[in-house]
Structure 1
Amino acid sequence: MERTAYFDNAKLALIFLVVFGHLIQPFTDGSQGINTLYMWIYTFHMPAFIFLAGFFAKGLGNKKYIMNLAKKLLLPYLIFQLLYSGYYLFLGHNDWQTGIFYPHWSLWFLFSLFSWHLLLYFFKKMPPLVSMTLAVGIGLIVGYFGEIGHTFSLSRTFVFFPFFLIGYWLTKDHVMFLKRKSMRFASLAVMAIVAIAIFIAPDFNSGWLLASKSYIDLGLPEFGVVARLLVYATSAAMAMSVLAWIPTKNNLLTKYGTQTLYVYLLHGFFVQFFRDTNLFEVNGVMDLVGLAVIAAAIVLLLSSKPIQVVSQPIIEGKTSILRNSNKRSKHNQPEPSHLNK
């Protein structure tokens, strides 16, 4: 699919919020304001990211397609599962040794993304309304089963799948509908109301937004389905509201939105180090702004060409960036002086 600046801008904004959210998480217990900001970000940043992944999904389902997906998603998952295990051991974490199918930290997304592509092959054969109803129904039901949790990223796979599926069903025209003035003004009200609601009810369990625990673990064994429905509605409204404000034109930062996978996989090494060393403190608004600047710097660094050259072999299993750079450098070299005579 032809690249569109809007979607690259959206991915860049969302990956920044992923990094920023992870940076401020250790400070949520000591500040109601930071907790509100953290929870507010988490209502939409992964649902919106997953929606965009579904928007560009093909769901072919043939053998070649599955093998390419495994190479693109499962192989980096296995590599980074080992890398993070070693890194946690280096940092002295007691929980560094986990099962290969118990994803470290943010690696759940790779496993779930692979699973969503497989599920899409079957769900795309149904009428859109039927497939969405079934996907939401499964997302609601799995909360009653404590066995469906973090292992294999099963809980998140089922709970977040409706956002991936709606991304597949919608078109660019549907998404651009959000850019209308009426939608943008309405989005401001939605974002403000959600922020106020979170601030008034700071004891809301963030596990509802992370989608990795059962209703029993979240304290609502009987009425969890109602709570998850409300979370679905809130996340969908927030995702639409934020996407309504994404710029549609190319700018100096747009190109960085094409490398979000690098940022997603690598930023954890920074965040975990910062957490373990207690390198930062947040005692005011300016400290929060400073963390936002650091988050932006991490995104730009991990999207840069040198990082891509070094990490592409383990993230994408190829060295095309390095080869292309070598070809360009050879092409730009001046001819030997004796050839010019």
Structure 2
Amino acid sequence: MNNRVEWLDIAKGLGIFCIVIGHNVVPQWLYDWVYSFHVPMFFIISGYFYRQRGWRETLAKGWKQLLRPMLLTILIAQALMLFLYVRHGFWSGPPVGEWLYGVATMNGLGYTRGMWFLMALFWGKLWMCLMERFHLPVLGQFCTSMSLFFAGYVLCQCGEEPWFFSRGMAVPLFLCIGRWLKQESVIERGHKSWVLCLALLLVAIAWMFPVNISGYVLPYGIGSVMTAVAISIAVLVVLKKASEMSAVPSKLFLYAGQNSLIILCVHSLIHTWQIVGHVWDALPQIGYVYRVWCWGVFAFFECGFLVVVVYFLQKIPVVRQFFHSK
């Protein structure tokens, strides 16, 4: 991990914790804030590390780093679901054909649908590779990626398509932004006081007036996209500054960021099997408002729990090799 950028790993750590929180029941204001930036920020970070590759290398790295972990997680999740469906000696799940179709198209994966991020990132990198084959200039790539974004938005409104293709069409825009941020050293200039203050102000405004863009919903059209990008960049600037301070939270986020892929996979398994729901159902029933707040606490607890589980999983050489292969 010698080539890693520490503050970006910290940002990925925050991002993966936001994913865990967003998949739990939490107060609405926290849910909206999380969905204002965390997925775009992940894509922007990917763009920060993006470099031009040929088709063969792009496909090979996409398989190793994205598709292989995603498919293994889906396979493990659905294998246990199959066992649960037939454990009483008869089929107790959805119609078999419907279940198989849902798994094959990735539209019926339950909470394992959270793996859509990996599939979309794979599509996004293929789109970038295609644009580079046509030798488009930077402005041309931005315009093309914007066109892809809105074409994907229109396609998404027509209904669920297989393999999250429309969401993948949104990714090149954020990859281009991330690459531009690196080329222009935009985040690195955040050490200036006025830049940091502006970033903190944007994060505070996003906290008070969040723009939830989950599920490709754009309540303010292009304004929603621009807001998500601005918040993501502001969060990165703040985290870059925070990473310079040696503290336990930074180390926690750093570890989570370095192992964000395996955390996502384990988290998806936990929620597909509804382990959190079973634990909650075993607790005494309380009022709805308190229930939501307790779920929020449970979400933060799950973040810590996942770090502990992943720490021990990483002790297994084959697991470490599988998730960190280059």
Q: In the alignment, is the contact (CA less than 8 A) between 2:142 and 2:176 conserved in 1? A: yes
Q: In the alignment, is the contact (CA less than 8 A) between 2:55 and 2:129 conserved in 1? A: no
| Root-mean-square deviation (Å) | 3.2
- Within 2, Cα distance between the matches of 1:39 and 1:306? 32
Which of the numbers 138, 163, 166 marks the counterpart of 2:177?
166
SS at match of 2:268: helix
Structure 2: stretches of 5+ with no match in the other structure? 86-92
1:290-321 residue CA offsets vs partner (Å, 9 max, x unmatched) = 32541331331243143462772795497x9x
Which of the numbers 117, 125, 140 marks the counterpart of 2:150?
140
Structure 1 length-normalised TM: 0.73
1:183-202 residue CA offsets vs partner (Å, 9 max, x unmatched) = 2322333233333334xxxx
Structure 1: stretches of 5+ with no match in the other structure? 28-33, 199-203, 212-217, 219-223, 321-341
| 1:158 CA drift (Å) | 1.2
- Within 2, Cα distance between the matches of 1:65 and 1:136? 22
Equivalent residue runs for 1:146-225 within 5 Å:
146-147=157-158, 149-171=160-182, 173-198=185-210, 208-211=213-216
1:221 matched to which residue of 2? none
Q: Is the counterpart of residue 69 in structure 1 residue 80 in structure 2?
A: no
Which of the numbers 265, 273, 276 marks the counterpart of 1:274?
276
| 1:89 CA drift (Å) | 4.1
Q: Calculate percent identity across the aligned residue pairs.
A: 21
Q: Is the counterpart of residue 58 in structure 1 residue 56 in structure 2?
A: no
SS at match of 1:171: helix
2:294 matched to which residue of 1? 287
Q: In the alignment, is the contact (CA less than 8 A) between 2:16 and 2:256 conserved in 1? A: no
- Within 1, Cα distance between the matches of 2:208 and 2:302? 25
The aligned amino acid for 1:248 is S
- Within 2, Cα distance between the matches of 1:285 and 1:189? 28
| 1:229 CA drift (Å) | 0.8
2:243 matched to which residue of 1? 248
Structure 2 length-normalised TM: 0.76
Please identify which structure carries the higher helix content: 2
The aligned amino acid for 1:229 is I
2:224 matched to which residue of 1? 231
| Structure exhibiting the larger radius of gyration computed from Cα positions | 1
The aligned amino acid for 1:129 is L
- Within 1, Cα distance between the matches of 2:318 and 2:105? 23
SS at match of 2:221: helix
Are residues 258 and 139 of structure 1, via their aligned partners in 2, closer, same or farther at CA, if it must alter by over 3 Å? same
| 1:138 CA drift (Å) | 1.9
- Within 1, Cα distance between the matches of 2:291 and 2:191? 34
1:14 matched to which residue of 2? 15
The aligned amino acid for 2:179 is Y
Q: In the alignment, is the contact (CA less than 8 A) between 1:43 and 1:238 conserved in 2? A: yes
Q: In the alignment, is the contact (CA less than 8 A) between 1:184 and 1:244 conserved in 2? A: yes
Equivalent residue runs for 1:75-94 within 5 Å:
75-89=68-82, 94=94
Q: In the alignment, is the contact (CA less than 8 A) between 1:108 and 1:153 conserved in 2? A: yes
